[in-house]
Amino acid sequence: MVALLPCICINRKALKQEAGSELLYEMKGALELLQRVSAHADASCWYVAWSPAGTLLASCGGDRAIRIWGKEGDSWECKSVLADGHQRTVRKVAWSPCGKYLASASFDATTCIWKKTNDDFEFLTVLEGHENEVKCVTWAPSGNLLATCSRDKSVWIWEVDEEDEYECVSVVNSHTQDVKHVVWHPTQELLASASYDNKVCIYKEEDDDWGCRATLEGHESTVWSLAFDPEGQRLASCSDDRTVKIWKESTPGDGSTDESWKCVCNLSGFHGRTVYDVAWCRLTGALATACGDDGVRVFREDPTADPEQPVFFMSAHVPKAHGQDINCVSWNPKEAGLLATCSDNGEFAIWKYNSDS
Amino acid sequence: MSGGTRLENANPLIFQRSGERLLTATDEDEDLADPIDDREIFDILSNQKPHLRSCFLNGLSRTLTSLHLIRSISDPEHPLSLEELNVVEQMRVNVNDEESTVSVEFTPTIPHCSMATLIGLSIKVKLLRSLPDRFKVLLVSSQTHLINKQLADKERVAAALENSQLLEVVNQCLSTRTM
């Protein structure tokens, strides 16, 4: 592990935001590098995920391994290596809400479930069924449901019971292409998916049947990731089209059950390349992005703007946060301002974000 | 990016063609710790040295021919280059060292989509293996957008190259014949 000098950028004028009007905000925030870790040697680090307690960080990568990192004094050390679960790249990892289980999604078409025992993890079971690479796995807040998605264009919903038995309860084929990401709503049993077909789908269970209830169109290329805001009222999506879009559900006043999602904010002109990930902080409401131009950015919401037309401005930006593409960005769920990023160069980095530097 | 191939060496610039051996600066340099000369890599991709470019295309055409993917109209021991076989009409290369970007546009003339994808994938892999990690590579086929989107999707490319059969075909396309 190499400790580098902290990288801070302060007091730079933010770019004008696309919305027809020239809005200039001072970029008052700062991102300070706390630690850089070489996590997956000679391979991409594809994803990092904080444990619900915020004390552990799971990373996964092209070396087919999952690593669990914990803090020892001031530095993050590797606590466990889960190396024998997958035959190909591990693309994403996800913690169960209780923190006792870890799920891993792999290009080998399987999803592994690991159980935390004392200080280590043991393999519990494997979820099979997807025809090819699994791109994402995510746990519902209730802890009883999981969702996975794949290049086979489908989204699978799994139920887990008290005996650690996993069963697929639904396979939904709403996308016409590779599904990149799935994420659960923070409070409702509602799922969103992002796809290579440039669309976002929203799923709800109605009459024991999971189905796509809304399709969000607007991105001009692959949608790579999604994040709900802390209250679950808005959804952020990021894309290969270099934009981040914010969507809000609107219920028509006439009492009909027709729900539609509208794009209420479009963050354009900030990212130089594909935006691979977006993360919405549960504690502060700050929005972070991971970009193929090697930069990490934090956006804040203008509190004076109309809630139906939110305004986001760039608060902090580290242009070369890593030497290669940033694949993932993740806010620590317990410590406000603590941010993790990971990159194609096999590294992850821990940052401290301050909104007013 | 890993993968067993003769080209996975510190100097990807050594090509042998019809008895002609092209030595590079690092070949003659005893100090192997020298970094890869970026100028050499740019030259291999630029239009300034077309004979190097056609060496790569030669290897590609040899494999495609041996796999019966394109009908050989010549002596298999001396296959025609892809350009001569009209498989790839031209390759336009643009390199910006300061911004660490390389863009390559190629024109496949084979109407079969998966052929163009294989050619594109081979060119992409060649570029990724030859260039320092800091480079962003853009590879576009002038013929169809469908291929371009797949080639630009690094997750799709990475997953494809974990398929050992496909990787083997790509490595064959990129291999050079030793004389």
**Identity of the highest mean pLDDT range in A7-11, A350-354, B12-16, B44-48:** A350-354
Contact A92, A137 (CB under 8 A): yes
Is the Cβ of A88 closer than 8 Å to some Cβ of chain B? yes
Contact A339, A326 (CB under 8 A): no
pLDDT, tens only, A14-39:
444 444 444 567 778 899 999 999 99
Asked if B159 lies within 8 A of A151 by C-beta distance, the reply is: yes
CB atoms under 10 Å from CB of B99, counted, come to 11
CB atoms under 10 Å from CB of A9, counted, come to 15
Instruction: Report residue B6's pLDDT band, with 50, 70 and 90 as the boundaries.
Output: very low
Q: Tell me which chain A residue has its CA closest to the CA of residue B145.
A: A221
pLDDT mean across residues, chain A: 91
Predicted confidence (pLDDT) at residue A119 exceeds the cutoff of 90: no
Asked if B159 lies within 8 A of A324 by C-beta distance, the reply is: no
Q: What percent of chain B has pLDDT over 70?
A: 45
pLDDT at B7: 30
Q: CA A277 to CA A177: how far, in whole Å?
A: 19
Sheet holding A244-250, edge to edge: A223-228, A234-239, A244-250, A260-267
Handedness of CA B53, B58, B59, B64 (dihedral sign): positive
Instruction: Report residue A6's pLDDT band, with 50, 70 and 90 as the boundaries.
Output: very low
- Cα–Cα distance list, B71 to A112, A272, B123 (Å): 45, 43, 21
Instruction: Report residue B79's pLDDT band, with 50, 70 and 90 as the boundaries.
Output: low
Closest residue by Cα to residue A192 from A214, A160, A168: A214
pLDDT at B9: 29
pLDDT, tens only, A266-278:
999 999 999 999 9
b/e code A40-69 from CB counts within 10 Å (16+ = b):
beebbbbbbbbbbeeebbbbbbbbbbbbbb
ipTM of this predicted structure: 0.91
pLDDT, tens only, A284-333:
999 999 999 999 999 999 999 998 899 999 999 999 999 999 999 999 99
Asked if B158 lies within 8 A of A62 by C-beta distance, the reply is: yes
For every residue of B96-164, DSSP letters joined together read: ETTTTEEEEEEEE----HHHHHHHHHHHHHHHHHHS-TT-EEEEEESS-HHHHHHHH-HHHHHHHTTSH
pLDDT at B104: 85
Considering only residues B47 and A351, tell me which one the structure prediction assigns the higher pLDDT: A351
Contacts of A271 (CB under 8 A, 6+ apart): A242, A243, A244, A289, A291, A293, A295, A297
Instruction: Report residue B54's pLDDT band, with 50, 70 and 90 as the boundaries.
Output: low
Considering only residues B67 and A333, tell me which one the structure prediction assigns the higher pLDDT: A333
pLDDT average, residue stretch A67-83: 96
- Residue A245, classed as helix, strand or coil, is strand
Asked if A133 lies within 8 A of B159 by C-beta distance, the reply is: yes
Is the Cβ of A135 closer than 8 Å to some Cβ of chain B? yes
pLDDT at A221: 98
- A326: Cα within 13 Å, side-chain hemisphere: 30
Residue with the two structure tokens 């607007």: A218
pLDDT at A149: 98
Predicted confidence (pLDDT) at residue A181 exceeds the cutoff of 60: yes
- A97: Cα within 13 Å, side-chain hemisphere: 12
pLDDT at B4: 35
| Partners of residue B99 in chain A, C-beta under 8 Å | none
Paired strand residues for A261: A249
User: B-side interface with A, Cβ within 8 Å?
Assistant: 2, 133-134, 136, 149, 152-156, 158-159, 162
Helix and strand numbers (H, E) in chain B are: 7, 5
pLDDT at B178: 30
Q: Which of B69-78, B91-100, B153-162 has the lowest mean pLDDT?
A: B69-78
CA distance B79 to chain A (A): 36
Q: Which of A29-33, A280-284, B43-47 has the lowest mean pLDDT?
A: B43-47
pLDDT mean across residues, chain B: 64
| Partners of residue A324 in chain B, C-beta under 8 Å | 133-134
For an interface test with A, the pick among B162, B163, B164, B166 (most A C-beta atoms closer than 10 Å) comes out as B162
The structural domains of chain B, with segments of one domain joined by +, span 38-73+80-174
Q: What percent of chain A has pLDDT over 70?
A: 90
CA A120 to chain centre: 25
Paired strand residues for A76: A71
pLDDT at A24: 64
Q: Tell me which chain B residue has its CA closest to the CA of residue A294.
A: B134
Closest residue by Cα to residue A144 from A129, A157, A127, A131: A157
Asked if A107 lies within 8 A of B133 by C-beta distance, the reply is: no
Asked if B133 lies within 8 A of A42 by C-beta distance, the reply is: no
Predicted confidence (pLDDT) at residue A196 exceeds the cutoff of 70: yes
- pTM (2 d.p.): 0.83
Helix H, strand E, coil C: the string for A81-107 is EECCCCCCCEEEEEECCCCCEEEEEEC
Q: CA A270 to CA A297: how far, in whole Å?
A: 9
Compare CB distances from A89 to B134, B152, B158 and report the shortest one's residue: B158
Closest residue by Cα to residue B120 from B174, B66, B41, B55: B174
pLDDT average, residue stretch A157-182: 95
Across the A/B interface, how many CB contacts are shorter than 8 Å?
Answer: 36
Asked if B158 lies within 8 A of A273 by C-beta distance, the reply is: no
CA distance B121 to chain A (A): 18
pLDDT, tens only, B88-121:
666 777 888 888 888 888 887 766 677 788 888 8
Kindly state the DSSP code that residue A2 receives in the 8-state scheme: B
| Partners of residue B159 in chain A, C-beta under 8 Å | 88-89, 107, 132-133, 151
Asked if B158 lies within 8 A of A107 by C-beta distance, the reply is: yes
Q: What percent of chain B has pLDDT over 90?
A: 13
Report angle CA A171, A176, A179 to the nearest 5 degrees.
65
Predicted confidence (pLDDT) at residue A253 exceeds the cutoff of 80: no
Instruction: Report residue A9's pLDDT band, with 50, 70 and 90 as the boundaries.
Output: very low
CA distance A258 to chain B (A): 34
Compare CB distances from B133 to A132, A178, A323 and report the shortest one's residue: A323
pLDDT average, residue stretch A40-63: 97
Predicted confidence (pLDDT) at residue B72 exceeds the cutoff of 50: no
Instruction: Report residue A46's pLDDT band, with 50, 70 and 90 as the boundaries.
Output: very high
pLDDT, tens only, A80-98:
999 999 999 999 999 999 9
Asked if B162 lies within 8 A of A107 by C-beta distance, the reply is: yes
Asked if B158 lies within 8 A of A222 by C-beta distance, the reply is: no
Q: Tell me which chain A residue has its CA closest to the CA of residue B133.
A: A324
Provide Rg for chain A, Cα atoms: 19
Q: Which of A6-10, A96-100, A138-142, A179-183 has the lowest mean pLDDT?
A: A6-10
CA distance B145 to chain A (A): 12
pLDDT average, residue stretch B119-133: 86
pLDDT at A283: 97
Instruction: Report residue B137's pLDDT band, with 50, 70 and 90 as the boundaries.
Output: very high
pLDDT average, residue stretch A100-109: 98
CA distance B98 to chain A (A): 14
pLDDT at A256: 54
Compare CB distances from A107 to B2, B134, B159 and report the shortest one's residue: B159
A138: tokens are 């995510």
CA distance A102 to chain B (A): 22
Considering only residues A222 and B2, tell me which one the structure prediction assigns the higher pLDDT: A222
Asked if A324 lies within 8 A of B158 by C-beta distance, the reply is: no
Q: Tell me which chain B residue has its CA closest to the CA of residue A240.
A: B153
Contact A39, A61 (CB under 8 A): yes
pLDDT at A19: 45
